[in-house]
Chain A
Amino acid sequence: MARIPEVARHRVPPQATTTGHREGGEGVVSLRRAAVRVGGRTLWSGVDLEVGAGEFTAVLGPNGVGKSTLIKVVLGILPTAAGEVRVLGEAPGRAGHRIGYLPQRRNVDPSLRIRGIDVVRMGLDGDRWGVPLPLPLRFSARRRAARDRIAEVIELVGASAYARRPLGECSGGQQQRLLIAQALVRGPELLLLDEPLDSLDLSHQGGVAALLGRICRAEGVSVVMVAHDVNPILPWLDRVLYLAEGGAAAGPPQQVITTRTLSRLYGAPVEVLRAGDGRLVVVGGGHGTEGGGGHGHHHELD
C-alpha cells in the first residue's frame, strides 16, 4: 500500500535565505515519510515536508485527499501511521500555545450575538477558568496589556471598524479577518489555516490572501495553508505540498505545479496551463482539475 512517490525526491531543501533564527536549522514543521490512516484507509503516505521559519506554504490537492487531515496531524489531533512529524521542534500537540489555528468553516450563524472583539479575546485567554473580574483597567496591568494586544492585532488585520459588531452581522470577509486576528493574538510562530479563502468572494479572497502574505513576511510567522485554489496566494508562496491519491510532491510552486509532476502524481496525463494573467489552470485527463476559478471543477473518472 505504501506507494512512495518518485516526485517526492524532487523536494528542494528549505531556502537558506529565510530568517532562520531557529537553532539547529530545524524547520518549523517537518514531516519525514509520514503516513496517515483514517477509518482503516491510508489517505496519504511517504509525505516529506520541511517548512522553514517565515515561509508561506500551501497544501494543495483534490477533494478528499486528506489536506485537512494533514493540518490535524500537525496539530496533534490525529496520530500518524508511519514516519516522523516534528512541529516547532517538538512532537505534534506539544507546542499548541505557539500555533495559531484557523479551522475550515462555513458562515457564522447570523444570529450569533457575540462581538468580534470578544472572539479575538478568546484567542488570548479563552482557555482560562473562571470569569474575567470586572476590575477597572487602571488597577490591572495585565488587563491593559491584553486590551492593547487585542487592539494591535485587530489593527493589523484591518478590522477596527467592525470589531465591536456582533460577529454574525459581519460579512464573510470581515469574519475571516477577525478570526485570523484571533489566531494571531498570542503571537504564534506558526499559523495553520484550513481553506481560509473558501467561503469568500473573489475580491475578499485577494484581500485576505494579501493580509496573510503580509503577516508572513512582516511578522515572520510561518504559514501553512490548505487551499482549493492556488491562484489568490500564488504571489506569496514559498513552497507547495501537493497531495494526490498517487502520492505527494513538495517544493517551490514553479517546480511542483507542472505538467510533468502532476501527471506523475495523478498517474494520468494532466496539463498545467498558465493563463495570460499569470493564473494557473490544471486540466485533468478526466481525472481531476485544480486551479483556476471557473475551470476548477472535478470530473471523477469512473
Chain B
Amino acid sequence: MGVRRALRSDHAVGWALAFPAVFLITVFGLVPIVWSFVLSFQKTNLIAPNPPFVGLANYRALAKDPVFRLSVVHSLIYTALFVPLSVGGALALAMALNRKIHGIRLYRTAVFVPVVASTIATAIMFLVLFDKNFGLANWALEKVGLGPFGFFESVDGALYSIVAMTVWGWLGFDVIIYLAALQGVPQELIEAAAIDGAGRWSLFRNVTLPLLGPATLFLVVWSTINALQLFDEVYFLTRGGPLRATYVVVYYLFDLAFQRGIAGYAAAIAYVLFLAILALTIVQLWVGKKVVYYSS
C-alpha cells in the first residue's frame, strides 16, 4: 500500500513526467557546459583518451595568438554593422508596414519569407547574386555607374557582403518582433498626443519609440549574440578568406577543433566567446534598464 501511494505521489509523478526531457537536456545541454570548461584546461585532439591537463596554457596562448586577435576584430566589425543595420532597418520597415492599406499582407509576407530560408540556402542565393562576373548585383551597380565589385571574393568587401546578406536574412525576424510590439502601443496615447499638437516625427520620437524600448532591447541583445556566432555563411562562402578577411571567432574555433584537432585550445576560445557574450549581454541589459521605459 505504501509503495503504491508513493508511486502515485506528486513527487514521483512529477519526476516521471519531467524525466525524459530533463535527462536529454542534462546530457546534451548541462554536461557540455561543465565539460567545455574542463576541456579548456586540457590538451586534447578529440581522439586520444585521457587528455592531460595543461593549466592555463590554452588561455595564455590565446592572449598571444594573432589569428585569434584577427578573428575577434572581424567578429566585432561584423557585429557593429549587423546589429544597428538589421535592428534599425527593421524598425523603419515595421513602422511602414504597420498600417491598413491595400496589399499590406503581400508586403509583409515578402519581408517575412527570407526568415525561413536557411543560412546555406541564403548563401547559395547570394553566391549567384553577388557573382563577380555574372551577378545581378554588379549588373544593377553598373546601371548607376558603380562597380564591378568582387563581393565575397574581394579582401576589402567580403565581410561587408556578408553583412548585407545576413541583414536581408534577419530583417523579417526583427520586423515580426516590432510589429508584435507595435500592437501593444495604446491607440489612446497616440490620439492624445496628436490632439495636443504633436507632429508625426514628435509622435514617433516621444511616444512610439519609447514604447518600443523593450522590443528594441531584446533585438539588440539577441542580434549581438547571433552576430558573434556567425559561422555557416563564412564556412560556405569564403572559408574565412580571401586572405582571412572573413576569419571570425566561431570559424576559427571550428577550424581548430574539427579540422586541425587542437580541441583544448578551441574550448578555451569557446569559453572566452561565452564570457564575451555574457558580458556584452549584461552591459546591454544594464544600459537598457536605464534607457528603456517599461509601461507595466
* A and B: bona fide binding partners: no
